[in-house]
Amino acid sequence: MASSGHPLADTSEGRASFLSRLRRAVDEERFFGTLLITPMQLLLWFLLIIPTIIVIYLSLVAWEPRMGVDWWQAPFAFLRNYAQIFQDGRFWAAIGRSLGVVVAAGGLEFAVGLGLALLFMRDFPGKRIVTSVILYPMMLPWVVVGLAFYLLFLDRGPVNFVLTQWFGSGATVEWFKNPLLAMGTIVLADIWQWTPFLFLILYSGLGALPKDPVEAAMNLGANRWQIFRHVTLPMLKPVILIALVIRALEAFKIFDLVFVMTGGGPGTSTETISLYIYRVGFVFGQLSYAAAMAVLILVMITLVTRFAIQPIEEG
């Protein structure tokens, strides 16, 4: 009886009641939030899972549109499509070209993007206007960029016109007839369009870094290069890894620029893996074989991405 009227007992009971009401409110808020996002999540899962299941199924059957039967009635081929991939030299050559684009374009885009990000950390007149101009190429569709660079490097295009004006009529270059130069024009177009993407990520990352370690290094007498190498770069490492992974995945899937600028030519010297899969599936009509290649690429990209982001998770 004495305890029921004790002030401490009333306080503890009131606190328990308040915490109980708070938990119910939180649970209701979570339920309401989940209810709001569930339709969109179901739609996204539907758009992601159903096509993936269909592609995996197609990769395990032997079906072509000209067979005259529906794809779900095609006979099973099991792993024969995948076995064919390992004997397809054109597939692995296309993989090599795609990786070449990733290394060449991605490396230069990172170097230029990081340099611009470091430069823009300082204030200068017209900074906002210049930033907007730098970001403009990233907003253009790939097809537009591909067409623009194709017109620039035509035999009688502006680039050759400038070369002939500077060095004479013999300076004309047949950009799209030389395999190395044709791939170089594709890489150049990709660099022009997607360097702003890496610049934007790295610039944001630099702006979010804490200033205390940099100020401490300056007080200890470190120069700018030492601060960048031993302080700024290690702190920026997670941002760099994320930016490189995202850009590498996009560069590996390059299709539009190649399709518009060279069509994979001359011959197949600029044919990337995305263009090759497109041709096998929609030009040659071998959709099951194209599906098998797509599934294999998906597995490869998943493994490489997992390996690439592991340092971020461990850090």
Q: Give the count of beta carbons closer than 10 Å to the beta carbon of residue 248.
A: 21
Alpha carbon distances (Å) from 9 to 1, 6, 20, 206, 271? 11, 5, 16, 54, 79
Alpha carbon distances (Å) from 142 to 33, 63, 258? 37, 32, 10
Confidence of residue 271 (pLDDT cuts 50, 70, 90): very high
Q: What average pLDDT does range 83-111 have in this prediction?
A: 95
pLDDT tens across 34-48, in order? 777 788 888 888 888
Handedness of CA 202, 204, 206, 208 (dihedral sign): negative
Confidence of residue 1 (pLDDT cuts 50, 70, 90): very low
Predicted confidence at residue 72, as pLDDT, reads 85
Predicted confidence at residue 8, as pLDDT, reads 46
pLDDT tens across 288-302, in order? 999 999 999 999 998
Q: What average pLDDT does range 150-170 have in this prediction?
A: 90
Rounded Cα–Cα distance for residues 41 and 35 (Å): 10
